[in-house]
Structure 1
């Protein structure tokens, strides 16, 4: 890592090692994932560190080690075995793990994160090998600040926390949901260049209402029904403010909370501490970026865009809120912008006469005779439909054909994760629209041909957004994250999409560009922090150079 850092932004690998009580030697180095280089230690290092006789004779470059890793990875029989293999590598040699992940991000992303991470969470207790992350239970109430001292690093900058209640589209997985913070933080490092030494995965293990888990003797979580109400909120508050006291420069990312809690935490903490909810705000920025890129294909002006959401949970309402802001920036009033956004949930169109609407979506209710999804499409004639249901197949043939009937280039976003929960597949979207759909999904679909034309369907993955937002925020010690920062992130992402990608139907840039995408987003977020007087560090002469200088490099 570059040594030209803003005060306290990060440390190099060797500076990080200074936090240890004593230097490591011999087998202790080999057994320490951050110190270990396997057969990559030089002759001099082997002499000086007490490693002679403990390693095979040949010295392997990191490139050769990475080649060996990928050859073994590709021999694994299924994605679950590949996931376990990669996590075991991280436990042995952290820098080699991140080198391999960064250099093969397109191939490994579906393994390290969605969709395979969902299966890994479901099987978390069965595949458990090595303790990783920080667990807080109701029995820790009143002691959270004290037990944070057990974490071995004093300068944490990124925390991803979940309570495991709404893991992807899989529901309540309790403490098994720890796979989500672990996976997200791997991407913070690989895509955003955050030093893994500064990352902390946290599980608020407040129980589970999943009786199958409670009856499973292998389940490792707090074996009780979920904590609810005031006791739950009190525990979350204690956690957040204990983190603020222990790690005052840390960003807290809330992940996979049930919708009511997700919105409660966002409203409660967004002005008080440096925090955001990725399911609400990160997903929203990805969707807005995708829509802006899609409009370059359809030719529709942003201010004219009409969008209909299927699903009205935290992800969908978050997307609607940020889209409303984008429409307002395009020249509409708030009222005009809201009229161009509609919702359909499992009970039908959100009409004003319904009594079951939440505070988050009541402002989008409409007066209409339409009730079901298809009739609402025919009446509203949206340019785009966005699925955030977690229910596969809800973009039926009739739905897609209805979109194709009202728009020449219908925009179809099937964003539910994992892949088998997508509202429709890429092949279905193209076939049912006669090849006219502009398609994106939350999990990957392979390139395909339809009537002689090659399509490369885009994956609207939050990994495009959150690493850069986090990097930008901590690089300037932002005091909070604003909606304007997420709009700036969306614009930076959309700007990376080239014309040749649009011609192949891809509205997001290649995943191989993630590090540069994150750098662009970090710079945009940091600039917005300075514009809004939210940055606590002085403005440097070259902001981009400073941010680039703090990005983690796993090479050895």
Structure 2
């Protein structure tokens, strides 16, 4: 391929009609582009007009992905101007439609690395080929077994990793040339995919056990060898593997699981924000987690770490939790407990009505929680009677229906405000409009991981972190929970997504400073603030 074609087909180098006449001469592009030399502002205006002409969200996403494939700088310049509008298009919730139709819509691999459980010998080469000589500082990897609200989508789930990295760049400013999405194709238990002749992944049931674990270990070894400075971000792994993988590697390398830690951190930050409003202590709360999967138990672990940081023993901290799953309240003798659930089970002897604690209404009446968190994907589970029962026993109930997409939410923010006469402190898993009730406008926080992981990851990379520990996680949560103005009537428990680019930098600095204070940086860093500022990438063409 000629140099000119190579440049125009390289999304990291392509400027399209913004190549100057001098650049066109030097790069052999004369006659390959229209005569008009556009500024990036003119290109952005033109692209936004094309975006607006699309009639459905999926069409808009396809347009943006095509632009992403052609010109990364223009894509992010456009997204910077419309970050609130584009976030749900490039990621959640519209990414769900893209995943479901991945086979039919596939056009390009989007610089992802595809690793097959059936070909472990090719893992290192797969990563090296996909990186193409780029200096990779951030890897987002998924096996797509446990996509929140969707389940197992095999190789189609690579769109999750791609979308996640888009948010990293748009929110925090990591260089898009330094990121790598990775799909680990371990097969799929989704019969719809296995029966689809267009399915692009391995056409067999998921592989578990030693063969799967060996692939993960081989992947981590190759990733560390090829990209030793990179942060490794795990995404949407299934219940059976997510916690075990994180536990195996988190003390050895710079890594985190966004479903376990990221979700937990945002929820904890929201709780801290809510407690700033109610003027209560976290050590006095009774926490009911409805949905004890990867996300629910990740949230529980994060809150428990914070309770220990606040002075409680582990035994005391565990007494503040009540985990509820499809079996009801989880007890020591409950069948089918996962490793993540076992630390949070209760003893039947604690309750006179233990055998009746199988439905949420009975459990709420018995426990009288002050915090109710939903990750169950059970739509409407937080009913009016349940919410009113909870509100009868606490002055400012903290209620977070976090399941998404919208159709799976446990409750609507508007209903929660109304049912509690404006007393509930609410965060939702999807964007929710302000709620006006009795003359007060309530801003609804969004428990969106994007509030946390871009700033967290950016700070870890900027500080060249060796590992991520509880102290740094706590520092980030307090930073995010302390951003909102709690003196305002109807104040949100979390900052708005519209301010994400601003507070992601604040978070990054707090995280980097925590790493430096603990001497967990690999390389000498003079200043956390300077390190974060120096690493920030801006979507502007370079001469």
Query: How many residues were matched structurally?
Result: 532
Instruction: Tell which deviates more after alignment, 88-97 or 420-429.
Output: 420-429
- Aligned partner of 2:95 in structure 1 is 117
Distance 1:34 1:308 in 2: 47
Matched, 1:59 2:44: no
Paired residue for 1:308? 288
Q: Which TM-score applies when normalising by structure 1?
A: 0.91
Establish whether residue 274 from structure 1 lines up as the match of residue 254 from structure 2. Answer: yes
CA drift at 1:57? 3.3
Among 100, 107, 130, which residue is 2:108 paired with?
130
Q: Which secondary structure does the structure 1 equivalent of 2:52 belong to?
A: helix
Question: Which residues in structure 2 correspond to 1:396-545 (within 5 Å)?
Answer: 396-499=383-486, 503-540=489-526, 542-545=527-530
1:212, 1:247 → 2: CA distance? 36
Indicate whether 1:257 and 2:257 are aligned: no
Moved more, 261-270 or 44-53: 44-53
CA contact (8 A) 2:17 2:38 kept: yes
* Higher deviation after alignment, 41-50 or 272-281: 41-50
Match among 42, 49, 59 for residue 20 of structure 2: 42
Residue of 209, 225, 250 corresponding to 2:205 = 225
Q: Which runs of 5+ in 2 are unaligned?
A: none
Matched, 1:97 2:67: no
State whether residues 376 and 403 of structure 2, in contact with CA within 8 Å, keep that contact through their aligned partners in structure 1.
yes
Deviations 1:108-166 (A, max 9, x none): 11111111111111111111111221111123223322333323034211111111111
Question: SS of 2:118's equivalent?
Answer: helix
**Of 152, 159, 171, the match for 2:139:** 159
Deviates most, 46-55 or 316-325:
46-55
How large is the Cα RMSD of the aligned pairs?
1.9
Superposed CA offset, 1:17-42 (max 9, x none):
xxxxx9x8544333322222222233
In the other structure, the counterpart of 1:395 is 382
- Counterpart contact for 2:268–2:303, Cα < 8 Å: yes
Equivalents in 2 of 1:359, 1:166: separation in Å? 16
Distance 1:398 1:353 in 2: 29
SS in 2 for 1:276: strand
Contact 2:114–2:126 (CA<8 Å) still a contact in 1?
A: no
Does structure 2 conserve the Cα–Cα contact (< 8 Å) formed by 1:118 and 1:168?
no
Task: Choose 299-308 or 286-295, whichever is displaced more.
Answer: 299-308
Residues 268-417 of structure 1 aligned to structure 2 (within 5 Å): 268-366=248-346, 367-368=350-351, 369=353, 371=357, 372-417=359-404
Calculate the TM-score normalised by the size of structure 2.
0.94
- SS in structure 2 at match of 1:167: coil
Shift in Å at residue 519 of structure 1? 1.8
User: Measured at CA, do residues 105 and 272 of structure 1 come closer, stay the same or move farther in structure 2, by a change above 3 Å?
Assistant: same
User: 1: CA distance between counterparts of 2:4 and 2:283?
Assistant: 64
For 1:216, the equivalent position in structure 2 comes to 196
Q: Secondary structure at the match of 1:202?
A: strand
Q: Which moved more, 1:176-185 or 1:363-372?
A: 363-372
**Counterpart residue number, 1:14:** none
- From 66, 71, 78, the counterpart of 2:56: 78
Distance apart, 1:448 and its partner CA:
3.5
Which residue in 1 is equivalent to 2:47? 69
Say if 2:123 is the partner of 1:144: yes
SS in 2 for 1:290: helix
Q: Does 1:554 align with 2:539?
A: yes
Aligned twin of 2:181: 201
Contact kept? 1:307, 1:342, Cα under 8 Å: yes
SS at match of 2:392: helix
Deviation at 1:355, TM superposition (A): 4.3
Quick check: 1:174–1:208 contact (8 Å CA) kept in 2? yes
Give runs of ≥4 in structure 1 deviating > 4 Å.
Answer: none
Name the stretch that deviates more: 388-397 or 41-50: 41-50
Cα distance, 1:455–1:71 mapped onto 2, change above 3 Å: farther
Deviation at 1:444, TM superposition (A): 1.2
The 10-residue stretch of structure 1 (469-478 or 308-317) with the greater mean CA deviation from structure 2: 469-478
Deviations 1:353-381 (A, max 9, x none): 43443332223222223503222222322
- Per-residue CA deviation, residues 41-60 of structure 1 (Å, 9 max, x unaligned), is 33333333333333333333
Listed as ranges, the matches of 1:17-36 within 5 Å are: 25-36=3-14
Task: Tell me how far 1:100 sits from its aligned partner.
Answer: 1.4
- Superimposed CA distance per residue, residues 306-345 of structure 1 (whole angstroms, 9 cap, x where no aligned partner): 2111011111111111111212222322222221121111
Q: Which residue of 1 aligns with 2:226?
A: 246
1:165-206 deviation line (CA, Å, top 9, x unaligned): 111210111111011000001111111211111111111011
SS at match of 1:385: strand
**Deviation of the 1:435 alpha carbon:** 2.6
**Partner-residue secondary structure (3-state), 2:126:** helix
Return the alpha-carbon distance in structure 1 between the equivalents of residues 198 and 126 of structure 2. 25
Secondary structure at 1:139 match in 2: coil
